[in-house]
Structure 1
Amino acid sequence: MSRTGIEYFDKYILKDGFPDGSLILVAGEPGAGKTIFSATFVYNGAKKFGERGVYISFAETKKEFYEAMKQLGMDFEELENKGLFKFIDLVTVGKEAIDKEIGFLMEELARFQPKRVVLDSISVFAQILGLEKTRVFLHTMLGRFIKAQNSTALLIAEKPVGTEKIGYGIEEFVVDGVIILKYEALGEVSRRIMEIPKIRRRSVERTQYEYVITSKGIEFLEIPELRREEMGYTTERITTGIDRLDEMLGGGIYKGSSVLLVGMTGTGKSTFALHFVIANALQGRKAVYISFEEPMDQIIRAAKNYGLPIEEAMEENLRIFTWIPESMTPVHTFLRIRKIIEEFDPEVLVIDSLTSLRQHMEGKELAKMLRYLGLITKARRITTYFTLNEETNFEVVPFTGASTMVDVIIGLRYHVQDGSIERRMAIVKSRASNHSRKIHKYEITDKGVEIYE
């Protein structure tokens, strides 16, 4: 068997790897990640399993390929120097020389004896050689070599945008497996899907799997599982960073709970969240603040204006991350947040705000991302704040995709009375807590949030 070395793919998708002696078609639209997936297969084969690999390219030169792959953390030059990899450049080959080059190619394969081969791309190859000769090559030359050596070959094929046709329509009839990489439009972004309609001698549980392309290459969405031993409750509470709010909640927030702060612009949602992460960081807990709306310097300045010791907290346990989510799919955003959680291992987390995510994601996709994130934070006992910029009357909470999944909902609102702004707040929901049912007045001062009866 030939495993890809991509942990999720080998563990959940093709558990036994590609069957030995197989030709696998990897088809997809331009930019779907065909080259990255195939190159990863060859690279991991050499790096992790000590198996020689060959990459045959009609698409880019050796220099271009090496430079592009090095940016993804794959050093093919190192493998070549160790005798584990060979790149065969056929970019400039024309029709008049193709027969000669095929002979040279087969001699190189026979001499090098690779366990893994990539042909990039079979579509260009068919353009040069013609359909019938391509079929003969796949059947009698490359196919026989792969089966005789118990090797595995990935054949990359271009799938024209907006069509169901794969390559030239002949490749799928002579291969042992088909993997299709495709796009699905999600508003401003596209979701990447791997579809596996056919793998001989292998069973695939699902036909589709979601993935993203990151600086590490291909990463799949791993659906979190909440094991029984992780589902137990705890009576330990932690502070909100606001003494009066702790009292209103019956002694603070249960560790591992999720909190939704919902209110209009100017109600102080971020200020409540800053109280939370700063106070807990100063009490010795690792804290993470992720902002999709403001750069770090504005967050720091706002905290200092409210008298909150953010710089001291950052010297201790607080980390702040900021980025604009508009160019990322929900999966990409989820994987980035998960990476931060895994690397920093926080006890408290703020996501500010869900409104920014909603502007660039479909509601169903955002709800799915929040559900997965909730499973991770519950398993790790991370107490999490989400902010949402919406008007609330303390009775109806918008965006039920978030409100039904959280443990605590705090509503914030304001109105103008006698020429001045008055702010009001209420704890709309707090599971397993004897919380205040009153509507309270609060102000945002140079000391932060102050809550009154």
Structure 2
Amino acid sequence: MLLIVGTPFNHIYDLSKDLKYPTKTKLRGKMTKFGIEYFDKYILRGGFPNGSMILIVGEPGTGKTILSATYLYNGAKKFGEKGMYISLAETKWEFYKGMKQLGMDFEELENNGLFKFIDLVTVSKDAVEKEIELLMSEISSFHPKRIVIDSISVFTQLLGAEKTRIFLHTILGRFIKANDATALLIAEKPIGSKTIGYGVEEFVVDGVIILKYKSFGEVTRRVMEIPKMRRRKIERAEYEYVITKNGIEFLTIPELKISEKDYTSEKITTGIERLDEMLDGGIYKGSSVLIVGMTGTGKTTFSLHFAIANALQGRKVAYITFEEPIDQIIRSAKNYGMPIEEVLGRNLKIFAWVPESKTPVHTYIKIKEIIEEFKPEALIIDSLTALREHLDEKELTKMLRYLQLLTKEKRITTYFTFTEEAKFDVVPFTGASTMVDVIILLKYEIENEKIEKRLAIIKARGSNHSRKIHKYEITNRGVEIYE
């Protein structure tokens, strides 16, 4: 029998079988992995120290519950560790339903004996101390390696600051350390408030993770700050994350790993025979192409030639459009006599969404998911203009840099279109133009009351490309280029 000396609680907790303190040697170096590769590898540098209590604090909607649930779910699915979710915020049914929509089936974990949900939503202030005694009994019998309390803010409202401190430090803290377990404590941060919780939680925990919103032009970013984490060195002030259909995802900075054997002199077609000749045989596999021109110069038509020709040759092609609906892309291809129906849904897939109110990170992660799931050899982004209208150019340039690293690593030939008045003696959108391998400028002029279209290849790395300005037309067969 263990007597908690000095506690104002009326109950005595029989925890003697669980409270055998580990030695410092036992705890030293042992880590509990979160289960998100980027978070474990680049943020925590290994994981949470065993025996830790971590405070997760944030405003409503920042993803505290999703982050904590992911920690439990990954623990069970990836490492076979038992988890317990103690909820004072939502019922078991609400939690299970919400998490299943994000691909986390906690009912399955419960049936396999790896998860237990404790519902304390309706507990009253008068009954909370008795519920804590029952709660500790459940913890002692189930022996979870991972515990989440959602939220400790409600505990504080029911118990008061002093009793909450005793519960966290003396009762729950002893169990956590005695069993090499780890607990995440969720705390609500009122919108606009600069304080964390009720001023006691952060002083009894081993780490603090703050989730918050940051306004960024027309969009709102979610960022994570880690001001405190014992035995871990956190290198950056903040990390941006997004909430997708897969849960919490961080911006993973690609590492360009291309060995000598990965380099190739293979070129692939632009889908326009004359343009291939002007590019000394086509585009090097894995290169990136920027097509710049005013509205009506045919940037989408050039992209459709590239997409459909390569799909017909057996390559997987992903076409991402931010400006036109999918049916309009299909209709345009048919109007130019391109056999899009032969490849659509097989080698060619078209994706469309409006990038407004999305951060560069969210857009990048969505494109990355398409690449990982579909595994294309060619990719079209039509157009960068839609992104630039809503995003800061510096952030857009950074997103493009990460995307370029990703496509080069996977040897994906990429087309970017960009709407701007093209001048053959001016380099457009320097953020993108310095990174791409090929730049094609399109423009039109009015001569003798007739619109004349002009094309010039400004840049083509490693190719003996044409240095001339060429005339071209958009006909019912698509793009036709002349001398």
Q: Kindly provide the CA deviation profile for residues 291-315 of structure 1, in whole angstroms up to 9, marking residues without a partner as x.
A: 1111111101001111111111326
Paired residues for 1:40-439 under 5 Å: 40-229=70-259, 233-314=263-344, 316-439=346-469
SS of 1:277's partner is helix
Task: Kindly provide the CA deviation profile for residues 313-339 of structure 1, in whole angstroms up to 9, marking residues without a partner as x.
Answer: 326521211111113221111111111
Distance 1:162 1:439 in 2: 58
The TM-score with structure 2 as length reference comes to 0.90
Q: CA RMSD in A?
A: 1.6
TM (norm. structure 1) is 0.96
Stretches of 4+ aligned residues off by more than 4 angstroms: 230-233
Aligned-partner Cα distance in 1 for 2:98–2:34? 19
Cα shift at 1:232: 6.2
What is the aligned partner in structure 2 of residue 449 from structure 1?
479
Which residue is 2:55 aligned to? 25
Q: Partner of 1:39 in structure 2?
A: 69
* Aligned-residue offset at 1:231: 9.3
Counterpart of 2:424, as a letter, is: F
Contact 1:226 1:379 in 2 (8 A): yes
Question: What amino acid sits opposite 2:252 in the alignment?
Answer: E
Aligned mates of 1:48, 1:238 — CA distance in 2: 41
Equivalent position SS for 2:32: coil
Following superposition, the deviation at residue 188 of structure 1 comes to 2.1
Residue in 1 that maps onto 2:43 = 13
Deviations along 1:119-170, one digit per CA (max 9) or x if unpaired, are: 1111121122111111111111111121122211100011232343211221
How far is 1:349 from its partner? Answer: 1.1
Q: Give, in whole Å, the separation in 1 of the partners of 2:118 and 2:174.
A: 20
Q: CA deviation at 1:233?
A: 4.3
Counterpart CA distance in 2 for 1:372 and 1:421 is 39
**Structure 1 unaligned regions, length at least 5:** none
Task: Give the Cα separation in 2 of the matches to 1:45 and 1:435.
Answer: 55
AA aligned opposite 2:269: T
For 2:81, the aligned partner's letter is E
Count of paired positions: 453
Distance in 2, Cα, partners of 1:202 & 1:131: 28
Task: Give how far 1:70 is off.
Answer: 0.8
Report if the CA contact (8 A) 1:240-1:275 is conserved.
yes
Instruction: Summarize deviations over 1:30-56 as a string: whole Å, max 9, x none.
Output: 111110111111122222222221111
3-state secondary structure, aligned to 1:95: coil
Q: Report the residue type matching 1:425 in the other structure.
A: L
Deviates more, 1:355-364 or 1:7-16: 7-16
Partners of 2:456 and 2:467 within 8 A in 1: yes
Give the distance between the partners of 1:77 and 1:223, measured in 2 at CA: 34
CA distance in 1, matches of 2:481, 2:35: 55
CA contact (8 A) 2:440 2:455 kept: yes
Any idea what the Cα deviations from partners look like across 1:56-109, whole Å, max 9, x if unmatched? 111111111111011111111122222221111111222222222222212221
